[in-house]
Structure 1
């Protein structure tokens, strides 16, 4: 398991038990489920840990069966659990996910109100833990969970920037967790505009910026302080642009059959972040993001398609020689 002394990346979020229906159709008709792990930021943590990065994850879980399962699963991925706190006052969150057989986004129902993770606050900010890493990753999902958790995200982001670390932010919108669209846009952008690397989806970017073209979405964040923006274009690949004027489009990796779209954006983030932390050019980072996103949609589960280092190296070599 990763120790604090060997951290590369730290992230914050809510880890949940996820129950995926085994039968396609409405959740109300499902009679059997498979238990898996869920959480947008945790998916990124898992993906980076599998690629050999030292990863620390900050969350709270309940003193219940879900919490024990989550803690064991996180530790099993080699992620540092020093800041995974068990809080007996509140339950762990969980979710139900429908199964689809046509490649459409599955319905997800959340049971996370009043969860242990929602009580995360600035009291959970330990500067020595965070700055032990060289990079912080945040997303719009944790931003939506509670006011106190959102305050922690700001404290962590500000602290890491002051310490000279880099920060990535995946906009990752969850409208159902917000009181209204206006609040969502304001709060997500408040964090995104302070990050170094911003990773919006094309549809999310339109909601957040009011702009339709990928370059214009990128310009919105570059004008407000971001250094690099990579816009996810789904089946069309990705567009990237930097404050230095570098820009381009990374071609997609076609997928014959889409099994589960949930987690594709998180996998994309793993690809981009891992490559940039390795010092790879932005074009190759976006390409790796596309590759990992394509792997994610071909399997059931949010993180099950994330490769280890040897698998990634083999896949990249195969693609380079194709």
Structure 2
């Protein structure tokens, strides 16, 4: 059996992204690639030197096979993935009006991934991992996907795995009330929570960064890391907290995927048992690198590449208790 450090699950779709900055109705050519939050994280982690298993259900069609070949080619183990004849692989189209103004159109309703069931999970395979990575996208796809995520959490808890939760709010997929309830349910089981500030505000009703972190942490021993965009990130544990400044970006080319690169950086640093301020600093660097490159995964760096990028010392600002 393939040995893995991290297990993640979710939908990856075929991504059609035009090269021109135009309204989509005027675009005539769409180069093909792939896009999916969890597979982005999986690929990011393999490039950083880790072994990752990714699970999904894909259509038994050319697009599904294309996705499997691409993710397998990046070094991610896809042996637990399933192909189905009952539904088709989902699609994404990106509309780029400017580098900062990107619209994403999903064609994923009733997709193959929405048919994931808790019985599809292989507990023996998942249990060998140290970390379970989940996002708030997968439980939004269908009731059976929600049950699948909760089953993965149950397996992780049973086997002493760390759970890393990235909310990844997608209100096009479900109601705000349902999203908030499920996010907070998952957060109650998670060991590490990685919201953007807007997602943290959505989950907690708080406004200020540190208030959001306080509510998410509660009386637990969780690690809260809040993404602050170009300003960097804020982290808080029971023992320490600090703002870690971001890295300057000369030109934003494609902002999509930066949060997934950030998550990969965090998980990699945890696996390496590094000090948290270094972990967050590297995650900030990866996010900055990703936004400077076209595509969801094309800008995800190797460890040596991101270390070179970080050579100019970034600032760390401590927060006094």
Does the TM-score normalized on the shorter chain lie above 0.5? yes
1:75-94 counterparts in 2 under 5 A?
75-94=72-91
- Which position in structure 1 is the counterpart of 2:267? 273
Aligned-pair CA distance for 1:249: 0.6
Of the three residues 108, 112, 116, the one matched with 1:112 is 108
Is the Cα contact below 8 Å between 1:17 and 1:70 reproduced in 2? Answer: yes
Q: Distance in 1 between matches of 2:26 and 2:292?
A: 24
Q: Distance in 2 between matches of 1:47 and 1:137?
A: 13
Of the three residues 56, 61, 77, the one matched with 1:59 is 56
Is the Cα contact below 8 Å between 1:16 and 1:92 reproduced in 2? Answer: yes
Of the three residues 229, 251, 256, the one matched with 1:234 is 229
Aligned-pair CA distance for 1:315: 2.7
Q: Distance in 1 between matches of 2:53 and 2:239?
A: 33
Sort the Cα spacing of 1:14 and 1:321 in 2 relative to 1 into closer, same or farther, 3 A: closer
- Which position in structure 1 is the counterpart of 2:254? 260
Q: Distance in 2 between matches of 1:53 and 1:20?
A: 28
Q: Distance in 2 between matches of 1:250 and 1:100?
A: 31
TM-score after normalising by structure 1: 0.94
1:32-43 counterparts in 2 under 5 A?
32-43=29-40
Runs of 4+ in 1 over 6 A off after TM superposition: none
Q: Does 1:204 align with 2:199?
A: yes
- Which position in structure 1 is the counterpart of 2:155? 159
Is the Cα contact below 8 Å between 1:197 and 1:226 reproduced in 2? Answer: no
SS in 1 for 2:283: helix
Sort the Cα spacing of 1:97 and 1:283 in 2 relative to 1 into closer, same or farther, 3 A: same
- Which position in structure 2 is the counterpart of 1:189? 184
Q: Distance in 1 between matches of 2:220 and 2:55?
A: 26
Is the Cα contact below 8 Å between 2:88 and 2:112 reproduced in 1? Answer: yes
Sort the Cα spacing of 1:12 and 1:102 in 2 relative to 1 into closer, same or farther, 3 A: closer
Of the three residues 288, 312, 315, the one matched with 1:319 is 312
Of the three residues 138, 143, 168, the one matched with 1:142 is 138
Runs (5+) with no aligned partner, structure 1: none
Aligned residues: 315
Of the three residues 295, 300, 317, the one matched with 2:289 is 295
Runs (5+) with no aligned partner, structure 2: 316-321
Is the Cα contact below 8 Å between 1:143 and 1:188 reproduced in 2? Answer: no
Aligned-pair CA distance for 1:277: 1.1
TM-score after normalising by structure 2: 0.95
Aligned-pair CA distance for 1:319: 3.0
Q: Distance in 2 between matches of 1:25 and 1:189?
A: 38
Aligned-pair CA distance for 1:226: 5.7
Of the three residues 161, 172, 176, the one matched with 1:176 is 172
Q: Distance in 1 between matches of 2:89 and 2:24?
A: 21
